[in-house]
Amino acid sequence: MNDAEEDLPSTPPEPGEVGLVEPHDFVHAQPFAFESGQTLPGFTLRYETYGRLNAARDNTVVICHALSGDHHCAGIHSLSDRKPGWWNNIVGPGKAVDTNRFHVLCVNVLGGCQGSTGPSTTNPATGRPFGLAFPFVTIRDMVRAQKLLCDHLGLASLHAVIGGSMGGMQVLQWGIEYPAFVRRMLPLATTARESAQAIAFNEVGRQAIMQDPEWNHGDYPKGGGPRVGLAVARMMAHITYLSDESMDKKFGRRRPQKPAMPDPDHPAAGAAPSAAYTFDVQFEVESYLRHQGESFINRFDANSYLYITRALDHFDLPAVHGSLEQAFAAVEAETLSVAFTSDWLFPADQNREIVLALLRAGQRASYAELATNLGHDSFLLESEDLYALVRSFLGAPHPS
């Protein structure tokens, strides 16, 4: 019995749900060389699996997470969990990524902060978190580390690799790096090359973090660090995951139920202003963003945010391979690329470009553009159209 089979919950899951799951740690105790030329003596990857590995060991679907995601993409960790994994709507028995049929593997990326080795991991040489002593990580480093885990699990090949946003970058890198190992690529809402605008947003987030005095050149205790800067970075990034239209529908100019009162310690000149005037929360969208910032600082490490956004910035397949067509020359996988019309972070054009380059390289590739108004995050949200595309591409029988 291998690790993957041990992951199956002992009690049958709820109909349609993965049910109780638990994470595992893969410890790679050999030196690992990063693209930057830096090395680590070893690393740990935290991961989860759902569904059974088949006898041929070739039914694994790898799910790659985005910037702020993790290995916990489906099921719950305890019966009191209020929220399941981040892609629970698409992964489960009978769902689009059908765990009755596929063995699903999801891994926290190298450089991350949810259990895999990253800048917040204790540096054995100092007994303190690595901080800026952690090697620079790239999308390719993330994928190469995941491949070592796949080898450890004894996987013969991957049925598919799926992911949105930074996950989609990993999908493309998987197909390029391990052509014989990857049978299907399903990148969503992604790009083959981080644009100037996307780099610019990442840079502002990094500046918010690095200019926070609590960042201290990346040297801060676990649980400490530049909470203010990280919250600002997250608030800004969150706007880029939505769309003008979705924000107007979701919040518009609505005021919260209880508007904040003016600060009594700082009365304004003359008469006090009416309650409609304050720099505290006045609009629901402000309250929402502040909540996004607050909750993020309790689950994410600021240095990981720096490292992972830098990995995004560096992602440039055309530059590395001479052209995108050349990047895809040796790919053996079949590809379905999915874009969302309202995604302005990785616009439809950038996803279409991937398929056009694959076709020029003589590969099997198709493209679907889903009309949504939910922005970049569309790939995470409920969509029967998306489910049907994924189900069909993975070759599962359609429900009749």
Q: Are strands 103-107 and 43-50 parallel, antiparallel or unpaired?
A: antiparallel
Q: Is 212 a catalytic residue?
A: no
Among the options 65, 141, 376, 378, which is catalytic? 376
Task: Provide, rounded to whole angstroms, the least separation between the CB of residue 367 and its own copies.
Answer: 20
Among the options 98, 212, 301, 343, which is catalytic? 343
- Can you give the three-state secondary structure of the chain, one letter per residue? CCHHHHCCCCCCCCCCCCCECCCEEEEECCCEECCCCCEECCEEEEEEEECCCCCCCCCEEEEECCCCCCCCCCCECCCCCCCCCCCCCCEECCCCEECCCCEEEEECCCCCCCCCCCCCCEECCCCEECHHHCCCCCHHHHHHHHHHHHHHCCCCCEEEEEEECHHHHHHHHHHHHCCCCECEEEEECCCCECCHHHHHHHHHHHHHHHCCHHHHHHCCCCCCCCHHHHHHHHHHHHHHHCCHHHHHHHCCCCCCCCCCCCCCCCCCCCCCCCCCCCCCCCCHHHHHHHHHHHHHHCCCCHHHHHHHHHHHHHCEHHHHHCCHHHHCCCCCCEEEEEEECCCCCCCHHHHHHHHHHHHHCCCCEEEEEECCCCHHHHHHCCCHHHHHHHHHHHCCCCCC
Task: Provide, rounded to whole angstroms, the least separation between the CB of residue 325 and its own copies.
Answer: 18
Q: From its phi and psi, is residue 352 left (phi > 0), alpha (psi between -120 and 50) or beta?
A: alpha
Instruction: Using the minimum distance from each CB to its own copies, give the nearer residue, 327 or 386.
Output: 327
Task: Provide, rounded to whole angstroms, the least separation between the CB of residue 301 and its own copies.
Answer: 15
Instruction: Using the minimum distance from each CB to its own copies, give the nearer residue, 253 or 398.
Output: 253
Instruction: Using the minimum distance from each CB to its own copies, give the nearer residue, 210 or 396.
Output: 210
Task: Provide, rounded to whole angstroms, the least separation between the CB of residue 229 and its own copies.
Answer: 8
Per the structure block, which two tokens stand in for 230?
Answer: 């990280």
Task: Provide, rounded to whole angstroms, the least separation between the CB of residue 267 and its own copies.
Answer: 7
Report how far Cα 361 is from the mean position of its chain's Cα atoms.
Answer: 28
Instruction: Using the minimum distance from each CB to its own copies, give the nearer residue, 183 or 250.
Output: 250
Instruction: Using the minimum distance from each CB to its own copies, give the nearer residue, 74 or 312.
Output: 312
Q: Is 265 a catalytic residue?
A: no
Identity (one letter) of the amino acid at 371?
A
- Given strand 184-188, what is the order of strands in its sheet? 24-28, 43-50, 103-107, 60-64, 158-164, 184-188, 334-340, 365-370
Instruction: Using the minimum distance from each CB to its own copies, give the nearer residue, 94 or 318.
Output: 318
Instruction: Using the minimum distance from each CB to its own copies, give the nearer residue, 21 or 137.
Output: 137
Q: Is 238 a catalytic residue?
A: no
Task: Provide, rounded to whole angstroms, the least separation between the CB of residue 365 and its own copies.
Answer: 24
Task: Report the distance separating Cα 113 and Cα 323, nearest Å.
Answer: 33
Instruction: Using the minimum distance from each CB to its own copies, give the nearer residue, 52 or 255.
Output: 255
Task: Provide, rounded to whole angstroms, the least separation between the CB of residue 357 and its own copies.
Answer: 17
Task: Provide, rounded to whole angstroms, the least separation between the CB of residue 350 and its own copies.
Answer: 9
Among the options 68, 120, 165, 287, which is catalytic? 165
Catalytic residues: 165, 343, 376
